[in-house]
Chain A
């Protein structure tokens, strides 16, 4: 039995199979979607999308004067004939897209109905599936969370998945994630930035309710070759607690650090909370805008199909 009346959902209600993370019907509908990067990145292997890096593709990009050491195979001899000067032909190289989905596995995510963590896990599964289907290099990372011994697992990741056949592997990895622990957002972002492999799209699924602040963590990954999407996952009980039975004389306990706050819920307190939540989300959004990060607030009561097929397409993450 949980220590708290509204504590983490019981383990029995959590998905245990990949099919429970993403069903075949949704998979079929996601087959037509692709992750959109607002930037063009070069990948490690030739992929299915353009790269700014000139390369060996058939699509001409530009000329540049020959310098010593250039591959003579790319000299445009026609121009040399006309102009008597050596120019190299530069071709756009088609690269694969690096897609990193970072899941917040801290205790704060393991709350709400439906659970923010479960929602984020299913969303990560869906986004990863889209990346795999489109031959993107998909990496998943999770911070917070517990290992098999119940200790803080730190940053967990699975990297360089590619192709539809890796779907099951990705799903199992997600299923093995055990939410718990506190913090680690900043450290996780720093380590992800340090171990960056190429460039790509990074999607961070978190509630961003870090007491140490979200700014330093996001600063590690912003503008470092990632097209970052910050998807703030909040439960409806967080967005409007008054409408979801939050009332009376409460001793609120922080799931992460067990910090307590004694609150007698009344209209003034609820109004103050809403103001604070709006201000907090606004500050996150403003920060993201300044750092060219796309911020999206996701209510876990939103149907996942609707989110993927409609909302995120409108927001430009998917197409």
Chain B
């Protein structure tokens, strides 16, 4: 038991009980009685002088009840509580991890409490223990509550209100995001730093204790350094033996020669020391298409020198199946583990279709030959005048990709463009100088889908336009004289632009050109890598291109809840970031068409750190190693005792009143 405000209660008791006794004596109306002499009486009283107070205090039930009432009231004002813990004044930052791994159901022994729920209960206990402030005390610890996954969120800035801090913790929602502590620490430090304009030494950071509730599976621990005066306490949540296997990656592909089929690839990882087996289930649009004939076994993690522990990994390819239309593909691990989030992965595969491409003002037979060799729906050759007419009439909307072969176009309607040579008229691309000659590649973004299998080591450009790039322009290939290939995304307009004419280089003679053009066409046309995309990771926004006339946009979340959304950009829809994994469905309508258009988004949690669900016994920062203590177990809560005392004291007061009434009535 602890007392939150012992001093206050003591003062009240000390100031109330003596006056009560004094009032009792004052209220004691002694009957005056004449006697022959007080001689003997005084001597008799002197004999009892040692017990004089008790001689005065003739046993009286009413006084006893009043004293008991006041004593209970005073004790209640001291705010006794059971299971008292440490009290600490000063500033404390409560940091709660609400990443995906905190959804593991091993918060307590029941197996029904998630780590996050347990961490929240434990943090609330801690707040109540830390908080010295009862109803009447002002020396409460200041507490700040921060929740973090891949982003940190201040649930409440520093407050001395216990209830505010508790409500802030209670309001922390589970997510399927990853864990990054840096943001939380930065936010805490921002609130701890006092900027005094009169100070000559600059901002002063007040020291604070940071208390972290987490399973210790945090991505950026090695990037964090505790500053002077900072203290980090790690409350470990979850079992250190928790086992889990999860889907590490998922991909789907339409075979080049069989675009009506889809083949799904899956990788499963086992970040534990024991090998595990599981069945895989493949569903298409909610219908089970395949289950692995025998459970696949994933080996245990292994220790690699210099790399640390490498999870056991198993890759599996489902047999191709016919699916002309678009499909939502879901793969499930049919095993029981505590972390269900990574046991499912989803993909949205667009329908099999071929692209319509327009080639404008071409003089290059090489480019035309490559395009003619691609399995396109159609390839139209446009002159500059034809382009201008279609641009004015809106006819360019029929083309998935428009290829500008050193074409001097004046307008650039919304669309997707692959451009060579002349700089297209769009913000962010500005020519300067006289151009460069004899340019070779210095760097290329080889991981970009456009540059897949594109080796530019032998590329030599005799003449190139020199560009400065603005916001929203990504340089894919750089030379010593500036960007050679850039990607511009303006929402409704998306361009892949090479700053040189291929005929001014040896590129047409290189195999990389033959790979680059189809890559760019497929990338801009929404095919190819889009099929193999692993969807959206939690923490990312949902982005989609919509018809400009799309209205009544709504999002249906994985839990079935529906929310109306508005998009600031009439063409590009963005919503989020999403916090939970699963299937999101965007729906809209278009004028003149009552049918509801839909777009499915798959949000998968495939982060390897979150997959490693065994709680870390210690966390290693860049310089410090902090051993965690298991968070308060048992789910016990501070039990206020003072309401009971108050109730009893009120009962006593009523009893005393009743007795007094009875005595008064008796005479």
Which of these binds chain A: B28-36, B69-77, B99-107? B28-36
The answer to whether B37 has its CB under 8 Å from any CB of chain A is: yes
The answer to whether B47 has its CB under 8 Å from any CB of chain A is: yes
Chain A residues positioned under 8 Å from B30 (CB to CB)? 249-251, 262
Q: Do most interface residues of chain B lie in helix, strand or loop, or is the interface mixed? A: mixed
CB closest chain-B residue, reference A112? B36
Residue contact A255 to B34, C-beta cutoff 8 Å? yes
How far apart are the CA atoms of A259 and B47 in the complex, in Å? 18
Interface string of B34-56 (1 = CB under 8 A from A): 11111111111101100100011
Interface string of B128-143 (1 = CB under 8 A from A): 0000000000000000
The answer to whether A67 has its CB under 8 Å from any CB of chain B is: no
CB contact between B55 and one of A4, A8, A107, A266 (< 8 Å): that residue: A266
The answer to whether A61 has its CB under 8 Å from any CB of chain B is: no
CB contact between A272 and one of B35, B48, B58 (< 8 Å): that residue: B48
The answer to whether A277 has its CB under 8 Å from any CB of chain B is: yes
Residue contact B33 to A4, C-beta cutoff 8 Å? yes
Chain B residues positioned under 8 Å from A111 (CB to CB)? 34-36
Q: Do most interface residues of chain A lie in helix, strand or loop, or is the interface mixed? A: mixed
Residue contact A260 to B36, C-beta cutoff 8 Å? no
Interface string of A218-259 (1 = CB under 8 A from B): 000000000000000001001000000010111111111001
| B28, B30, B34, B51, most chain A CB atoms within 10 A | B34
How far apart are the CA atoms of A133 and B32 in the complex, in Å? 46
Tell me, rounded to whole Å, the shortest Cβ–Cβ distance linking B291 to chain A: 94
CB contact between B34 and one of A253, A262, A269, A277 (< 8 Å): that residue: A253
Chain B residues positioned under 8 Å from A253 (CB to CB)? 32-35, 38
How far apart are the CA atoms of A125 and B301 in the complex, in Å? 128
How far apart are the CA atoms of A249 and B42 in the complex, in Å? 15
Tell me, rounded to whole Å, the shortest Cβ–Cβ distance linking A177 to chain B: 17
Interface string of A254-283 (1 = CB under 8 A from B): 111001111110101100110111001000
Within 8 A of A (CB), among B427-460: none
Residue contact B37 to A209, C-beta cutoff 8 Å? yes
Residue contact A6 to B34, C-beta cutoff 8 Å? yes
Chain B residues positioned under 8 Å from A8 (CB to CB)? 34
The answer to whether A82 has its CB under 8 Å from any CB of chain B is: no
Residue contact B33 to A254, C-beta cutoff 8 Å? no
| A253, A259, A273, A276, most chain B CB atoms within 10 A | A276
Within 8 A of A (CB), among B593-617: none
How far apart are the CA atoms of A249 and B32 in the complex, in Å? 9
Chain A residues positioned under 8 Å from B37 (CB to CB)? 108, 207, 209, 211, 254-256
The answer to whether A109 has its CB under 8 Å from any CB of chain B is: yes
Chain A residues positioned under 8 Å from B41 (CB to CB)? 252, 261, 263, 273
Residue contact A238 to B36, C-beta cutoff 8 Å? yes
CB contact between A249 and one of B38, B40, B58 (< 8 Å): that residue: B58
Residue contact B58 to A266, C-beta cutoff 8 Å? yes
Chain B residues positioned under 8 Å from A261 (CB to CB)? 38, 41-42, 45
Within 8 A of B (CB), among A96-155: 107-109, 111-112, 116
Chain B residues positioned under 8 Å from A112 (CB to CB)? 36
CB closest chain-B residue, reference A207? B36
Tell me, rounded to whole Å, the shortest Cβ–Cβ distance linking B77 to chain A: 32
Decide: A268 near B34, CB < 8 A? Known: A209-B39, A261-B41, A273-B40: no
Chain B residues positioned under 8 Å from A211 (CB to CB)? 37, 39
How far apart are the CA atoms of A211 and B38 in the complex, in Å? 9
Tell me, rounded to whole Å, the shortest Cβ–Cβ distance linking A274 to chain B: 9
Residue contact B35 to A268, C-beta cutoff 8 Å? no
How far apart are the CA atoms of A116 and B34 in the complex, in Å? 14
Residue contact A255 to B36, C-beta cutoff 8 Å? yes
CB closest chain-B residue, reference A261? B38
Chain B residues positioned under 8 Å from A277 (CB to CB)? 40
The answer to whether A5 has its CB under 8 Å from any CB of chain B is: yes
CB closest chain-B residue, reference A268? B48
Chain A residues positioned under 8 Å from B35 (CB to CB)? 6, 111, 238, 252-255
The answer to whether A47 has its CB under 8 Å from any CB of chain B is: no
Decide: A251 near B34, CB < 8 A? Known: A263-B45, A266-B58, A273-B40: no
Q: List 30 A-B contacts (CB under 8 A).
A: A2-B34, A3-B32, A3-B34, A4-B33, A4-B34, A7-B34, A108-B36, A111-B35, A111-B36, A209-B37, A209-B39, A238-B36, A246-B33, A251-B32, A252-B41, A253-B34, A253-B35, A254-B34, A254-B36, A255-B37, A256-B36, A263-B44, A264-B55, A264-B56, A264-B58, A269-B44, A273-B40, A273-B41, A275-B47, A277-B40
Q: Which residues of B contact A (CB under 8 A)?
A: 28-45, 47-48, 51, 55-56, 58
Identify the 4 closest CB pairs spanning chains A and B, nearest first: A4-B34, A108-B36, A272-B44, A209-B37
